[in-house]
Chain A
Amino acid sequence: MASPTPSGEGTTKKTKEPRNTRITQQTLPACKPVLEPVWIVFIFLAIGVVLVPIGSVCLYYGLKPVEVGTRYDQTCLPNNLNTNAQRQEYIWKHAANDSKLTCEIKLTITKDMPAPIFVYYELNGYYQNHRRYVKSRSDMQLAGKSKDLATSLCDPLEFLGGNKSLPINPCGLVAWSFFNDTYTMMIKSNATSPSKLLPVSDKNIAFDSDVKYRFAKYNPQNFNPEINSLRGGFNLSYASGGATPKENQRFMNWMRLSALPRFRKLWGRIDTDLKAGNVVPISITNRYNTYAFDGQKSIVLGTTTWLGSRNPFLGVAYLVTGGLSFVLALVYLILRLARPRKFGDPAALSFSRAGASG
């Protein structure tokens, strides 16, 4: 095969000897953390020491925000309506007549609420996470990328009345079922004082990215042109401030789906402080039909901190986990004392115990 080298020596005889590499010989240098009891206790304690303070901070900020709210779907209709079926009947009947649907409720502020105060509506029993619902939308259309085109993604609401010449924009179940209750707020410094208008802004309530990129400025076409008998109430511009998707941040928030059947969506923000004892009368136009499926509607005013709204769960979870870690450290110590074991004791090997006799 290979001709011998001129020197006659060193003809490299081909050998099958495996090469000596660290990988193939399985001798890669390795860090071998073998935990001694001291270290184990230390790890448990360390976890506790890290988690508990974080938990305390989270709990503090989780309890700090103030929330005031009330459910209004039952109360905001004439009292003689006893069942949800009757209520649904009522709002359908008066769908075009807002004055019949309007009621006023009062929220009393219990604690000082510094601005900004966020106005939420809360729905319960509403499955925004149903697959049929989730799929029925077109992000591209909303972003104005294909506004004139019907998009099959929106099935079953692509065309108005099934007429292919009338593509709906924004299409789909999500947009179509846009929440259309409206609130007008007043403020009274106390229960007896006169009320004045409390301005509620619909700006700066959506995610920046939505405002910037996901919604285009265009006029909706064939979008809820008439009062919908199922939902109750009117179209996009009627329900909110902005007539185009880009201008309507409430619409954006609606289009951001919620993961669970009980959810809140941001409706507006109040940029003045509210003091404890203030009363906020809210005039509600109760259009949205939650009666068909026995849902609930609430209105909530709340403040936030940097950690979000009022929610002690995170802090409590941190404290519990951290506390558990301390407890486990203790249990481990007790186990260790009750059943001491020598570190690296060859006599403890099962085969040496068994083999001792042999």
Chain B
Amino acid sequence: MELLKKNTAKREPEQRTVRINTGEHDKSYAGNYTSTTKYNLWTFLPKALFEQYRRVANIYFTLVAALSLTPFSPVRAWTTWTPLVIVLGVAMIKEAIEDYKRYKLDKEINNRAVQVLDPEKGEYITRTWKDVRVGDILVVKKDEQFPADLLFLTSETEEGTCYNETMNLDGETNLKIKKAPDETKDLGEQDFVQFREAVIQCEGPNPRLYQFTGNLLLDGKTLPISPNAILLRGCNLRNTEKVVGAVIYAGHETKIFKNAAPAPSKRSHVERIVDKIIFFMFFLLFSFCIVGSIFFAVWTKDHMENHWYLSPATGKSQYDPDNPGFVGFASFITSFILYGYLIPISLYVSMELVKIAQSMGYINNDRDMYHAETDTPALARTSNLNEELGMVNTILSDKTGTLTRNVMEFFKCSIAGVSYGAGITEIEKANALRKGITLDDRDKPEAAKHRERYFNFYDERLMGDAWFTAKDPEIIEMFFRLLAVCHTVIPDGPTEPHTIKYEAESPDEAALVVAAKAFGFFFYKRTNTTVSVREHTARGDHDVEYEVLNVLEFTSTRKRMSVVIRDKSQDKIIIFTKGADTVIYERLDPKYGPNEAMKESTGRHMEEFGAAGLRTLCLSYAEVDREWYGNVWLPEYVAAKTSLVDRDEKVAEVSEKIERNLRLLGCTAIEDKLQEGVPQCIKQLAMAGIRIWVLTGDKMETAINIGFACSLLREDMMQFTITVYGVEEVEQAEARGDKEEAERLAHAAVARSLETTEKTMDDNPTATFAIVIDGKALSYALSKELAPLFLRVGTRCKAVVCCRVSPLQKAQVTRLVRSKGDTTLAIGDGANDVGMIQSAHIGVGISGQEGMQAVMSSDFAIAQFRFLVPLLLVHGRYCYKRITRMVLFFFYKNMLFGVTIFVFNAFNNFSGQFLYNDFYMTLFNVVFTALTPVVIGIFDRDVDKAMALRYPGLYMQGQRNEYFNFRAIALWLLSSLYQTCIIMVFILVGCRSTVSDRGDGNPYTMWQTGLLMFSCVVLTVHFQVIQITDQWTWAHHVSIWLSMAVWWLYLLAYGAFPLFLSSDLYYLFIGVSAPSAQYWFYLLLVPTACQLPDFFLRMAKKQLAPFDHTIVQEIQKKMDREGRQEVEELGQEPSQEPSILTSIFTGKATKNRGYVPPYDPRSRHVSECNQRKKPGFDGPPCTRADTVPAIERIETLIGVQVGDHAFYGLVSSGARQAGRIETGVRSPVLTHLDNELTDNPYRNRKKSNLPGIVPIPMYVPTVSQERTNPSLSSTSPQHQQQHLGAPTAVAVVYDANGQASSRAVALNGGDKMPSGSPVPSLAPAPGAIASPVSTDTLSPPENAGQQEREILATYELALKH
């Protein structure tokens, strides 16, 4: 959205006037001929070349090539031109092919046929698309595409509607309904022949897809045209036989073309560092050139004439001693070409190749990221950012559709202060399970009857006709009516309850309409002005038609939508409003009695629903005074609707006036289930050191509970809640109506709480933190003064949850986090995430869902949130490592090579002579060392995929940029320098030209030395590859051995070429070098001497301060050696269960996940215990408790027999309430147990088959309590909470025979006792840190620590017996 705004900032014609069907065309408006090609036959060469030269490297290489044509060149010109032409040629051929494809497609599109009304002939004739002009009237038939942006005039349907599919535009597959203006909708196809006087006045062409401001001047009237009457090019007509429309924008002025801006290209960190290294290389190059040219000029001036053999008659000015300036200049050019080998020409080509292989070959083809249900593999939409995936510090995630499935089901509701709906959400289940409570949710048969898509609700008090006799049936009836009326859903298909289909813009709306249907308010027909509902009430079944007067649409700022209707039977005007609770509550009628009564209970229910992870909507209605409506409001509204400037703001303003004095009806709760595998995924990401920020539009409670459910928030985290709701001073100020004061106070409150938060963090350096912040507080936190503080605090947190944020805030937060230098990854699925996705370093879109906008603007698309794990931990890590290693290797080898050239020049007075033949200088980069870097980039693998997932902490190497920081780069380059020295010294001293390498006496000659030196360079470079290769696949073998072989094969082959081709090389290798023993001795010696110190340093580093991946390699090796047995994983999260992915990779059957295999746990523990005896391990010595280790303890809890004890039971703190925010640090023991229990689905499914399990009636349905005790609805939340939180400490001990036994095993090993549950945070900064519910619901009950102690004491006691 942001992007679109920027585009429009460009000057656009203010207005346009379209005269329909006059036959005259305004020439200033574009025709409908379109071309998407970049080039034509004549412009191809210059333009395509220009494109290529946008890369600085290409300019450089062209410059070098051009200079090589001058007489100053040390090399033959073709040796620089050939690689350049190849590199450019390949890229340009690719461009040409792509452009030709576009040309063919354009041609096909331009020649498509369409029916156009010819005003002269007065009949419809067939024309091609390209001949369509603005003002023409067209007929488009079913399933055809609209050739231009049209004003919808009429369709064959009675209401003047049509459906269109906007797939090409925004990727959404659901059909959108469009509506012709009432004044034209009844005209027939032929009536338009006479349709001459109509004029459209509208805004100029612009890229805003969903907005249109314009009026239709018809018969002297000015009619507003809503965006709903515009048919856009690119869309298809569906379900409608034909429509007639008038062209408003054609060709390149259509919105789809205006939108075709290329996505902003992102560059990775690594690439930017590469640029820096290239700059360094340029610096080196220039200093070489300057040193060389100055020296040469001085030498030429002072000495050249003495060296008579060089200059008979001098002649050529580039060696003219009398003109040292020019000599220096010429020498500079010579050196520039000569030392150009410092800059790797093939780096960019190779990098591109490798990245394409990584994305197309690996990422797009990874079966671990393939979602079978939607048949969606992962898609790398750009290959620029592969390595960036390995450096992510912060993930910013949307919630709906990203963490959740975006499958909406009507789940609960609260009407007139009474909560209905018996379901238990997955989040409640997950939360309860964390406490060791199993919530039974087996489908009741009568409930199943009512289940359908979008509807998962059962409550006998409402179903059937039960609600007729319930309390407040009028309110319930109104509630249902609102559900049936207040929406923009379009029914489709036969009007029977079971066959009808609803086309809704959002799944939430569909869920509400389906719910209304289930409750007996069957919405079956919508016309332009009416909504028809078959109402089943106590009075019987009636088909009621409501006249829809106005629809006040939903926007993200309004957070509500309203429908104004006239109830014909009672002749009343009613407004139905549904929206976010805050928005509705603000607009309730304070004088209306029932409001007050319902406000609190409804609010509490919403809180509960939110806590259960449900999406809530508040429903309300009001009667509108007819006089006021007709005389005052409607004219204002129409004026606003037809205004050409700021239409949206004005409409919102006017809408405000009617949406007031509302009467509360209740609220609905819709469930959006968590996606599969999200908690495990988040856990792994957290272990990989990635901070996760969830940015959601949800309420705070919902967000927090989802945070818990998906393991984002954990109980051992210290949480801070920052909000401005419930700050007394602010509320007071607001109540006074002093908005500025309120803002100032709120700002101060946020500042205070942030400061307190930071201080608390400083005081607890070892704790992990989480922050929950709501949108309003966020807006202050993002202010200029507070942003740095917020960022500081936020980046110290493992998790940050931002609730109720707007799309704009999402992007702002992203930019804020980015500004710190963190690598950010934004993931989302909807249009509201586009800003965030584009702002982040890496944008990931969730594909396979309905909306595609996020995907369209993303860099990577995956089908499920959980695929982030392989995307980051596997592909990101590999790509980062591979690319950086490849780049370093490139610079290493080119530096090595380039510096040898420079050093040799020092021995010939920098005259620009080189020791190598120009053939092999040219081939060095493109042949002899071309394959190995590519293989490194594609096949290098330090640890296996499974290990990368098993040790997510390995990912932190990328975050720290361990392979590509200054140190690493400097070390590589230094090592390159060192090796150059070795080569130069060994060859130039050992093989100096006064000694002979053979029996027949001839001393070393120049090309012979060069051949030897080049052989050493090639070998050394490959030895380096051998040294850094962690795993040898066939590709490694092929590349390394083949590259080396090619060098000697080349020597053999080339030496045999005729003299005029091979010149210096003629017969050199076979005739001169190969027969010499010294040649081979040096080949063995020099690379060894070069690599020996490198090897030693690597090994010493490995010994003293090993890299993490080194250790994991060792672990892997150990596992391989021990027959793939598991080694103990100290330092991992206790007994980490293999994730689904890990189990796939390691080949373990997933169905056994969580099942503890039947082996003797003691053996494992004893080894662990023995370890402690070793020196260097400073843990406590083995104790009695160690023989019953922690692992075993867990196993006992899940029903595995241990020794002669059998021990079943459940542990729960009992103090924790499902879905409540908790603060403070929990005992690690209980957390650990909780995790174990939560993560063990086996326990729940199979429990009935295990002996001795005590069924625990833990779940007391809320509903039943409320029914039996209606007065409860007014009790405080805290009260209710305690009511729900039945004591859950169960410690029944059974022996093997299933008899209750007094013997039990210890729970207490080395673990500490909970120390009175310290709650270090929450020194209540006035109002701010403490969340709105902090005092009563957020903190654990006072006796929490007490209960934990009791439980543990029970176990201790049991053990002693």
A332 touches B996 (CB 8 A): no
B1111 lies within 8 A of A260 (CB): no
Instruction: Fill in one digit per residue for A293-335: 1 if any B CB lies within 8 Å of its CB, else 0.
Output: 1100000001011111111011001100100110010011001
Residue on B with the closest CB to A298? B994
Q: Is the CB of B376 within 8 A of A260?
A: no
The reply on A155 being an interface residue by CB < 8 A is: yes
Q: Is the CB of B310 within 8 A of A263?
A: no
* Given A26-B878, A258-B1006, A336-B1103, A352 contacting B1131 (CB threshold 8 A): yes
State whether the Cβ of B56 lies closer than 8 Å to any Cβ in chain A.
no
Q: Quick check: is B941 within 8 A (CB to CB) of the other chain? A: yes
Q: Which residue in chain B gives the minimum CB-CB distance to A257? A: B1006
Cβ–Cβ contact A51 & B1085, under 8 A: yes
Query: A32-B1117, A259-B1006, A313-B989 known; A143 and B1059 CB under 8 Å?
Result: yes
Closest Cβ neighbor of B962 among chain A residues? A350
B1067 in the interface (beta carbon within 8 A):
yes
**Which residues on the B side are within 8 Å of A307 (C-beta)?**
997, 1077-1078
Q: Is A140 an interface residue (CB 8 A)?
A: yes
B743 within 8 A of A: no
Query: Which residues of chain A come closer than 8 Å to B992, judged between CB atoms?
Result: 259-260, 262
| Interface flag for B321 (CB, 8 Å) | no
Q: What residues on A are CB-neighbors of B25 within 8 Å?
A: none
* Residue in B767, B998, B1001, B1081 whose CB lies within 8 Å of A314: B1081
Within 8 A of A (CB), among B161-182: none
Contact check: which of A162, A340, A358 meets B766 at CB < 8 Å?
A: A358
A162: chain B residues at CB < 8 Å are: 313
A177 with B309, Cβ < 8 A, contacts A32-B1030, A54-B1081 known? yes
Q: Which residue of B lies closest to A14 (CB)?
A: B375
Q: Check B1002 against A32 for contact (C-beta < 8 Å).
A: no
With the chains together, A321 CA to B994 CA distance in Å? 24
Residues of B987-1023 contacting chain A, CB below 8 A: 988-990, 992-1007, 1009-1010
B1257 CB within 8 Å of chain A? no
Which residues of A have CB within 8 Å of B1000? 116, 204-205, 304
Q: Give the chain A neighbours of B1005 by CB distance below 8 A.
A: 256-259
- Taken together as a complex, chains A and B put the C-alpha atoms of A155 and B315 apart, in Å, by 10
Among residues 894 to 914 in chain B, which have CB atoms less than 8 Å away from a CB atom of chain A? 904, 907-909, 911-913
CA distance A253 to B768 in the complex (A): 78
* A156 and B312 within 8 A (CB): yes
Are B311 and A145 touching (Cβ within 8 A)? no
- Chain A residues near B1127 (CB-CB < 8 A): 344, 346
A30 to B944, CA, bound (A): 10
A314 to B1004 Cα, complex, angstroms: 14
**A308, B1063: Cβ atoms under 8 Å?**
no
Residue of B366, B768, B1081 contacting most chain A CB atoms (<10 Å): B1081
Counting CB contacts under 8 A, is B657 at the interface? no
B362, A26: Cβ atoms closer than 8 Å: yes
Distance, CA A115 to CA B973, complexed state (A): 49
Q: List, in ascending order, chain A residues with CB within 8 A of B284's CB.
A: none
The distance in angstroms between the C-alpha atoms of A254 and B1113, with both chains bound, is 58
Q: Is A164 an interface residue (CB 8 A)?
A: no
Q: A332-B1096, A349-B1112 are in contact. Are A308 and B997 (CB under 8 A)?
A: yes
| A206 beta carbon closer than 8 Å to chain B | yes
Q: Does B1106 contact A (CB under 8 A)?
A: yes
Chain A residues contacting B382 (CB-CB under 8 Å) are none
Alpha-carbon distance between A305 and B313 when the two chains are bound, in angstroms: 44
Size of chain B's interface in residues, with CB distance under 8 A? 122
Contacts A34-B1113, A209-B1072, A349-B1112 given; does A16 touch B376 at CB 8 Å: yes
CA distance A336 to B1099 in the complex (A): 10
Whether B994 lies near A262 (C-beta < 8 A) is: yes
**Set B307, B312, B1082, B1089: member contacting A176, Cβ < 8 A:** B312
Partner of A18, one of B367, B953, B1076: B367
Question: Which residue of B has the minimal Cβ distance to A156?
Answer: B315
- Closest residue to B998 on the A side, CB-wise? A308
Instruction: Say which size band chain A's interface belongs to.
Output: 35 or more
Give the contacting residue for B1003; candidates A177, A264, A343, A356; CB below 8 A. Answer: A264
**Residues A132 and B319 in contact, CB atoms below 8 Å apart:** yes
Contacts A348-B1106, A352-B1132 hold; do A328 and B1092 have CB atoms under 8 A apart?
yes
Tell me which of B452-460, B667-675, B1031-1039 binds A.
B1031-1039
Q: Mark B344-368, 1 if CB is under 8 A from A, else 0.
A: 0000000000000000011011110
* Contacting residue for B370 out of A18, A289, A347, CB 8 A: A18
Binary B-proximity of A262-293 (CB < 8 A = 1, otherwise 0): 11111001000000000000000000010011
Contact A346 B1099 (CB under 8 A): no
Question: Among the listed B912, B1095, B1104, which residue makes an inter-chain contact with A339, where contact means beta carbons less than 8 Å apart?
Answer: B1104
With A37-B1103, A345-B1111, A353-B1131 known to touch, is A16 a contact of B911 (CB < 8 Å)?
no
Q: Are A131 and B1088 interface neighbours, CB within 8 A? A: no
Is B628 located at the chain interface by the 8 A CB criterion? no
Does chain B have a CB within 8 A of A231?
yes
Q: Is B1129 an interface residue (CB 8 A)?
A: yes
A134 interfacial contact with B, CB 8 Å: yes
User: Is A183 positioned at the interface, with any CB of B under 8 Å from its CB?
Assistant: no
Q: How far is the CA of A140 from the CA of B989 in the complex (A)?
A: 32
A40 to B309, CA, bound (A): 55
| Chain A positions within 8 Å of B820 at CB level | none
**Distance from B869 Cβ to chain A, minimum over Cβ atoms (Å):** 15
Q: Which of the listed residues B308, B313, B954, B1100 has the most CB atoms from chain A within 10 Å of its own CB?
A: B308
Do A317 and B1085 form a contact, CB below 8 Å, given A127-B310, A133-B309, A173-B309?
yes
Shortest CB-to-CB span from B1066 to chain A, Å, is 7
Q: Which of B319, B999, B1002, B1068 has the most CB of A within 10 A?
A: B1002
Q: A156-B315, A292-B306, A336-B1103 are in contact. Are A28 and B1034 (CB under 8 A)?
A: yes
Centre residue among A25, A162, A332 by max chain B CB count within 10 A: A25
Return A145 CB to nearest CB of chain B, in Å.
Answer: 7
Say if the beta carbon of A38 comes within 8 Å of chain B.
no
A340 to B1106, CA, bound (A): 12
- Rounded to whole angstroms, the CA-CA distance of A346 and B956 in the bound complex is 15
Complex Cα spacing A40 to B1106, Å: 15
Tell me the residues in window 1-33 of chain A with beta carbons closer than 8 Å to chain B beta carbons: 15-20, 23-33
A208 within 8 A of B: yes
Q: Is A207 positioned at the interface, with any CB of B under 8 Å from its CB?
A: yes
Q: In the complex, are the beta carbons of A17 and B996 less than 8 A apart?
A: no
Evaluate contact between B1032 and A293: CB separation under 8 angstroms: no
Please determine whether A343 and B911 come into contact, CB atoms closer than 8 angstroms. no
Q: Which of B1074-1130 contact A (CB under 8 A)?
A: 1076-1078, 1081-1082, 1084-1085, 1088-1089, 1092, 1095-1096, 1099-1100, 1102-1104, 1106, 1108, 1111-1118, 1120, 1127-1130
**Contact residue among B309, B1002, B1113, B1114 (Cβ-Cβ distance under 8 Å from A206):** B1002
Cβ of B945 under 8 Å from chain A: yes
A26-61 interface (Cβ within 8 A of B): 26-37, 40, 43-44, 47, 51, 54, 58
B residues whose Cβ falls under 8 Å from a Cβ of A: 74, 303, 306-316, 319, 334, 361-362, 364-367, 370, 372, 375-377, 687, 689, 716, 766-768, 874, 878, 904, 907-909, 911-913, 915, 939, 941, 944-945, 951, 953-954, 956, 986, 988-990, 992-1007, 1009-1010, 1030-1035, 1059-1060, 1063-1064, 1066-1068, 1071-1072, 1076-1078, 1081-1082, 1084-1085, 1088-1089, 1092, 1095-1096, 1099-1100, 1102-1104, 1106, 1108, 1111-1118, 1120, 1127-1132, 1176
Pick the 9 closest A-B CB pairs, nearest first.
A352-B1131, A351-B953, A209-B1071, A344-B1114, A177-B309, A263-B993, A118-B1001, A30-B1031, A24-B365
What 9 new A-B contacts, CB under 8 Å, besides A261-B907, A311-B990, A352-B1132? A16-B375, A26-B874, A120-B1001, A126-B307, A145-B1059, A308-B998, A309-B1001, A339-B1103, A356-B1131
Chosen A-B contacts, 20 in total, with CB atoms closer than 8 Å, are A116-B1001, A127-B310, A129-B1006, A139-B1064, A155-B316, A157-B312, A162-B313, A176-B309, A207-B1002, A307-B1077, A308-B1076, A311-B996, A332-B1100, A332-B1103, A340-B1176, A344-B1115, A345-B1114, A349-B1112, A349-B1131, A351-B1131
